[in-house]
Structures are given as structure tokens and as C-alpha cells.
Amino acid sequence: VTTEAASAASKLSSGLRELAGVLHRDHSADAVLQLVTELAAQTLTGAHGVSISLKAGGGYTTASALPASLVPIDESQYDPSRGPCVEALERNQCIEGNLRDCCERWPEFVSAARAGGYEFVMSVPLSSDVTDAVSGALNVYSRDVDPFDSEQRRAATAFAHSAGAALNNAEAFKRAALENEHLNLALHSRGLIGEAKGIIMERTGCSSDDAFDELRRLSQSTNRKVVVIAHEIVQSAQRARDDGRNGDG
Amino acid sequence: MVSTLHAGFLASGLSLSQLWFSYFGLGGNATQLQLGRFVSGEDDPGAHEHDLIAHALNERFHDLDLDSPVAYSNE
């Protein structure tokens, strides 16, 4: 093992270790993708630019790019739906090419990438188990014509798979946070409605089910949500209690 | 106009989880699994639970500026 290879392996290992930590501590998808891009750019020998493209809802976006000048280069393939990243996502496999040989295959992309000084690109799908809603690819650009050996290809694939796991983690966290928000709203609504039902039951001597029916009828007749009616009843009872206390005082 | 919980659920465009949050927020006590059986017609929810589910669906239709098409138990 040469010193150079050992150094590359060490860089890769430390990059992947750092990424694994992200799975547990950082849940923002944007932050994760930014970090993956930075780590891949620092780690992959021969890489002069790295970006991550995402496909969601039928459209592509570049989620992160280093340098930022890669964004319009990535975008040059989205509209014509023709380029290495588009192919990598369509075929779910690593796609790479020396740009001089790909003028007919990806005319818009090759023109933009070569104008930016790049000669080679490799696009690796993030991982096969990324969420159904989002898929993505790690794009590695080089200014050299034959920059990557099998070791670098394996490293890029490892990065892409780790990025996919990080993205999955971020998406799962986002879903959990959203569910938590929905649950909090539901608990708040349930609390208000329960309180309003108690007030109605106290006033009328009816059952809990009948109290809800009363709320529902009020909701239907006024075209307002049950929780809004409940909130008004609770507030009104609170005001009456406060007035009573003030009157007593 | 749809009359059953099943038809209302299908027309609402809600996922079972979204419907459960609305239903639970109104005071419903069934689990998401039980709710799934109620809206599929596998189990009878009883009048009160039926009305809670129907109202959760009708509030959804109201949000979409549509009529309240799901019938309550006494209709």
C-alpha cells in the first residue's frame, strides 16, 4: 500500500465516520447534504467539484454544490432530461463519462460542463432505499480526463450510500416532527373540546356524547369548526367565572 | 353526496393517519388500526364514533369548500 493510497483510505474512513455521526446528531436534510458534499469533495482524490441532485415530484433540483458554480451545470441536464445524473437516477446505477466522448449523448450538459473546465463526470445514485418521494445522485466532477480508479469509484459509491442513509434519516425525522406537530394540534383541540363538553354537561345535565352532538350542531349551523365553537364556550365560561369572582370581591 | 364513511374517506383524499389526527382531535378514542376498520366498513363504530369520524371528514370537505356530504348517525 503506497503512502498516497493509505492517506486516501484514511481520508475516506474519516469522512465516512464523520458522516455516520451526522445520522445521529443532525436532522436537517439541507445541512446533511451540504456536509456530504463537502466531505466528498475533500475526500475523493481527483474530484474538483461535487454536487447532489435530488428528484422529487417529477422535477430535479441541485440540493448542494461545491463549488456553487456547479449549480447551472447540473441544471443544464434537468430541462432536456439528458445527462449523467438523469441517467444515473433513471437506471439506478453509476453513470460516468469522459465529456469529450459524450457530446452527442448529453449535448447541453457537456457544453456547460466543459465551459466550466470539467472533463469528466461520475453520477452515483444515493442509495436504493431512499424514500419513495425523493431520490438523488452524487455528482463528482473532475478537470482531468481519466481521474478515478476503482478505489475512488468505490469511495464515491460508499459516500452516495451514506448520503442516502443520511437523507433517509433526515426525511424520517421530518416526518416524525410533522406527526408530532399534528399530534400536538390534535391534543390541544381534544383538550378544548373535552373542556367545552364538560361545561355543556354541567349546564344541561346531558351525557358526554350528547354534549358533542350539541357542539357538532353548532358547528354545522354556523359553518365553523367544532374546536372554534369549543374555544368560544370555554372562553365565555372563563369570563363568567372571572366576572363572578370580581363581583364577589 | 356520499353517505358512508368509506365513500367519504375515499373522496376526502386524506391518509388514514391524517384522518386519525382529526378524529382524535375531536375526541375519538379508537386507535388508527380500529379507525381503518371503521372506514373500510369491516367494523361498526357505533353511533357516536360514527359521528366523530363523519364530522372529521365533513370538516375536511368544508376546508375544501365542499358541502358536508357524510351523513351522521341520525340522518
pTM as predicted: 0.63
Angstroms from A186 CA to nearest CA on chain B: 4
Angstroms from A19 CA to nearest CA on chain B: 32
Provide the pLDDT confidence category of residue B2 given band limits of 50, 70 and 90: low
Residues A91, A137 contacting (CB under 8 angstroms): no
Mean pLDDT of B30-51: 95
Query: What are the start-end ranges of the E strands in chain A?
Result: 49-56, 59-66, 95-98, 120-125, 134-142
A213–B51 C-beta distance less than 8 A = yes
Mutate to test the interface with A, among B18, B29, B55, B67 (most CBs of A within 10 A): B55
Chain A residue closest to B62 (CA)? A223
B48–A226 C-beta distance less than 8 A = no
Q: Of A56-65, A72-81, A185-194, where does mean pLDDT reach its minimum?
A: A56-65
* ipTM for this prediction: 0.91
A227–B21 C-beta distance less than 8 A = no
Q: Which of A185, A194, A223 sits opposite B27 (nearest CB)?
A: A194
Mutate to test the interface with B, among A192, A207, A212 (most CBs of B within 10 A): A212
Residue of A158 and A12 predicted with greater confidence:
A158
Share of chain A above pLDDT 70, in %: 90
Share of chain A above pLDDT 90, in %: 58
Chain B residue closest to A225 (CA)? B59
Mean pLDDT of A189-215: 96
Judge residue A147's burial from the number of C-beta atoms within 10 Å of its C-beta, 0-12 exposed, 13-18 middle, 19 or more buried.
buried
- Check if A224 contacts B (Cβ < 8 Å): no
Mean pLDDT of B52-70: 91
Residue of B31 and A243 predicted with greater confidence:
B31
B59–A212 C-beta distance less than 8 A = no
The per-residue pLDDT of chain A, averaged, comes to 88
Instruction: Identify the pLDDT of residue A249.
Output: 53
Q: Which of B25, B48, B68 sits opposite A186 (nearest CB)?
A: B25
Angstroms from A144 CA to nearest CA on chain B: 50
Instruction: Identify the pLDDT of residue A239.
Output: 92
Angstroms from A174 CA to nearest CA on chain B: 16
pLDDT of A42 strictly over 60: yes
Chain B residue closest to A185 (CA)? B25
A220–B26 C-beta distance less than 8 A = no
Residues on chain B touching A193 (C-beta within 8 angstroms) = 25-27
Judge residue B46's burial from the number of C-beta atoms within 10 Å of its C-beta, 0-12 exposed, 13-18 middle, 19 or more buried.
exposed
Mean pLDDT of B12-27: 96
Judge residue A115's burial from the number of C-beta atoms within 10 Å of its C-beta, 0-12 exposed, 13-18 middle, 19 or more buried.
exposed
Instruction: Identify the pLDDT of residue B1.
Output: 44
Cα three-residue angle B35-B37-B42, rounded to 5 degrees: 150
How many whole angstroms separate alpha carbon A215 and alpha carbon A227? 9
Instruction: Identify the pLDDT of residue A231.
Output: 97
Q: How many CA atoms lie within 13 A of B5 on its CB side?
A: 26
pLDDT tens figures, A105-136: 999 999 999 999 999 999 999 875 545 666 89
